[in-house]
Amino acid sequence: MERGICIFKIMDIKKLLTVDGGEQEDLFGLANKVRKEEVGENIYFRGIIEFANFCEKDCVYCGIRKSNENVERFWMGEEEIIECLRFIHNAGYGSVVLQSGELQNDKFKNFLLDVVGYIQKIYPDMGVTVSCGEFEYDYYKKLREAGAHRYLLRIETSSRSLFKKLHPDGDFETRYKCLLGLKELGYQVGTGIMTGLPGQTDEDLVEDLKFFLENDFDMYGLGPYVVHEDTPLVTENVKLEWEKNRSEIFNKTLNFIALMRIILKDVNIAAGTALDVFDPLGRMKALKAGANVVMPSVTPRMYRDKYLLYQNKPCIDEDAEKCKDCMYNKVSAAGFKPMLGVRGDSLHFKS
Ligand code: 5AD
């Protein structure tokens, strides 16, 4: 099957975003066929360490935005991170994701370089993904040289006008340039969007798919938008609409994942944690729709309720050990093979 949107008419794609029942089963069936052919039926694990919630950005949807004064800020120490890395290694996760808010100062940048350098030295086989936002090209280069293999930077939406509304202090072109720079530097590059954003249309989602296809990234992580009451995006009306459309947003996210698998083929697709806000088995449903990566949290329990990008985040009363067992069991029960002890690089990148 040829890679691309040309196999469908754009109209069909828009229609497919909202299918349910038997039609949705057909869509997932096709996505699974493509998954089996392109990437197999293994599910790869990445242990995610949310190591700091300081942020210089003011994205209007995000709970840890700079202006939210109700957040208790934290920045994990090196020893705490080393403990998490040991856990990841022993659990056999194969890859780590280092995530934080966006900080540009030298202290933060040097700290991150040190952490990546440490992983390279002590755990040379571990896949290292950084997800700490926008930096200048030269710093991405340094991180790459220090041992980072992958970078996750969601574009959040490919609609320039919606992007501007959601990121009053951000710039679409700058973020996009970061993604292109990361590709040039030889990272496996991951991006993604949020589905169900206030003001987002189905046409926007079709454009997002086109954006992914045209820019040819290696990995995708996406999830549904979830309200956070301490953010300017959430008015009474937005909250009501979101509550009313919950199941629609959830379904659309799954359909979007299935379409990504069908169109983008051999890429890695992570099942976003926010899906579990809508359904306790949300992430497993995403795997059944075509995703092939899960990112169980390794963040120490004491920090989890301080890293709330959105409300009702799952697993905040759990620790890394519990998340490991739970995820492993759920993935197996969903009929997939959890792959431990391997990095699980994007086959798309390799090819
Ligand atoms: N709902 C869902 N996802 C969110 N993110 C940030 N805020 C929210 C929210 N309110 C996502 C963004 C970001 C990722 C780390 O978390 O897509 O890139």
Could you report the per-residue pLDDT of 17-53, keeping only the tens digit for each?
A: 999 999 999 999 999 999 999 999 999 999 999 999 9
Identify the pLDDT of residue 350: 83
308 alpha carbon – ligand 1 mean position (Å): 9
Listed residue (140, 314, 149) closest to 223, CA to CA: 314
220 alpha carbon – ligand 1 mean position (Å): 14
Q: What is the pTM of this model?
A: 0.96
Residues of the chain with pLDDT under 70: 1-11
Identify the pLDDT of residue 104: 94
Domains in the chain: boundaries: 5-345
Identify the pLDDT of residue 249: 97
Identify the pLDDT of residue 3: 55
| DSSP letter assigned to residue 297 | B
Phi-psi map region of 26: left, alpha, beta (phi>0 left; psi -120 to 50 alpha): alpha
For residue 309, the ligand 1 atom closest to its alpha carbon is 7
Listed residue (132, 112, 166, 130) closest to 56, CA to CA: 132
pLDDT per position as a tens digit, 187-241? 999 999 999 999 999 999 999 999 999 999 999 999 999 999 999 999 999 999 9
Identify the pLDDT of residue 351: 79
| DSSP letter assigned to residue 6 | G
For residue 231, the ligand 1 atom closest to its alpha carbon is 10
From the options 3.40.640.10, 3.30.10.20, 3.40.50.2000, 3.20.20.70, give the CATH code of 5-345. 3.20.20.70
Report d(CA 211, CA 220) in Å as an integer: 12
Query: At a CB cut-off of 8 Å and minimum separation 6, what does 13 contact?
Result: 5, 206, 209, 259
**Closest C-alpha to ligand 1, atom 18:** 154
In the chain, alpha helices (H): 10-16, 21-38, 78-91, 106-122, 137-146, 160-166, 172-184, 202-215, 236-244, 246-264, 282-289, 301-304, 320-333, 347-350
For residue 152, the ligand 1 atom closest to its alpha carbon is 18
62 alpha carbon – ligand 1 mean position (Å): 6
Identify the pLDDT of residue 8: 60
The set of protein residues with a Cβ atom below 6 angstroms from ligand 1 is 61-62, 154, 156, 194, 223, 225-226, 228, 274, 309-310
Name the strand (E) or helix (H) holding 104: none
Identify the pLDDT of residue 77: 97
Identify the pLDDT of residue 200: 98
Identify the pLDDT of residue 1: 43
